[in-house]
């Protein structure tokens, strides 16, 4: 397999994975393109490489910046904006985890906490089942949340630090 083919396979696979995880396909593809590009690219070049429209390219690039996965670069004497991707895999994983925590885990935790507070008749099976399920999901979600917070904050933490080394 030659490089160009390999690169487009990667872009395709990354796009598919993204869409399965609720990340827009184009966003994942642009990310893959920049991840495998040795140089920063312009909007024009990205549009060209992936056959996408200007509008789509622009919105996607802004979203990726919002996720902290790519950055703008200004070249001296040039008007155009160049984009390049953060290439450290661990940092990428952390950014994605952080963003999804903020967007999804935090809101559901809020709901679960509210629902945990609902009072009812301990003898009512409906109530008991509800209470038990909510409490146990809430506990797991809370633990995931705490763990993520620790991971995202301090890689230096002696305990997690040693676990991270396994992954890197």
Partner DNA sequence: TTAAACTTTCAAAACTTATTGAAAGTTTTT
Partner DNA sequence: AAAAACTTTCAATAAGTTTTGAAAGTTTAA
Site string for DNA, 60-99 (x = CB under 7 A): xxx--------------xxxxx------------------
CB closer to DNA, 38 vs 55: 55
Name the minimum Å distance from CB 87 to its own copies.
6
- Angle at which helix 43-50 crosses helix 25-35, to 10 degrees, equals 110
State in angstroms the smallest separation of the CB of 9 from its own copies. Answer: 6
128 binds DNA per the rule CB under 7 A: no
The Cα–Cα gap between 110 and 99 comes to 17
Q: Is 71 helix (H, G, I), strand (E, B) or coil?
A: strand
Shortest distance in whole angstroms from residue 165 CB to DNA: 35
46 neighbors 31 (Cβ within 8 angstroms) = no
Give the relative orientation of helices 54-66 and 43-50 as an angle to the nearest 10 degrees. Answer: 110
Within residues 7-66, the interface with DNA by CB under 7 A covers 19, 24-26, 42-44, 51-56, 58-62
Question: What's the CA gap between 69 and 25, in Å, rounded?
Answer: 15
Residue 103 binding target from DNA, its own copies, none, CB below 5 to 8 Å by type: its own copies
Contact by Cβ (8 Å): 161, 155: yes
Residue 46: Cβ-neighbour burial (10 angstroms; 0-12, 13-18, 19+): buried
Residues lying near its own copies in the complex (CB under 8 A): 1-3, 6-7, 9-10, 13, 17, 19-22, 35-39, 87-90, 93, 103-104, 107-108, 111-112, 114-115, 117-118, 120, 124-130, 132-134, 136-137, 139-140, 143-144, 147, 166-168
Question: 144 — phi, psi (to 5°)?
Answer: -60, -45
Q: By the criterion CB under 7 A, which residues form the site for DNA? A: 19, 24-26, 42-44, 51-56, 58-62, 77-81
């Amino acid at each position: 397999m030659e490089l160009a083919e390999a690169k487009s396979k990667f872009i395709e696979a990354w796009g598919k994975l993204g869409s399965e995880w609720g990340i827009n396909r184009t966003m994942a593809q642009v990310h893959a393109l920049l991840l495998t590009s040795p140089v920063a690219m312009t909007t024009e070049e990205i549009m060209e490489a992936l056959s996408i429209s200007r509008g789509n390219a622009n919105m996607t690039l802004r979203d990726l910046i919002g996720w902290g996965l790519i950055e703008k670069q200004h070249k001296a004497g040039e008007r155009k904006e160049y984009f390049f991707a953060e290439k450290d895999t661990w940092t990428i994983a952390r950014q994605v985890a952080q963003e999804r925590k903020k967007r999804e885990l935090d809101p559901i935790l809020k709901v679960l906490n509210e629902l945990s507070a609902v009072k009812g008749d301990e003898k009512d099976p409906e109530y008991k089942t509800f209470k038990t399920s909510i409490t146990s999901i809430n506990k797991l979600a809370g633990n995931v949340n705490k763990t993520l917070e620790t991971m995202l904050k301090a890689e230096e933490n002696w305990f997690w630090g040693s676990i991270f080394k396994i992954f890197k």
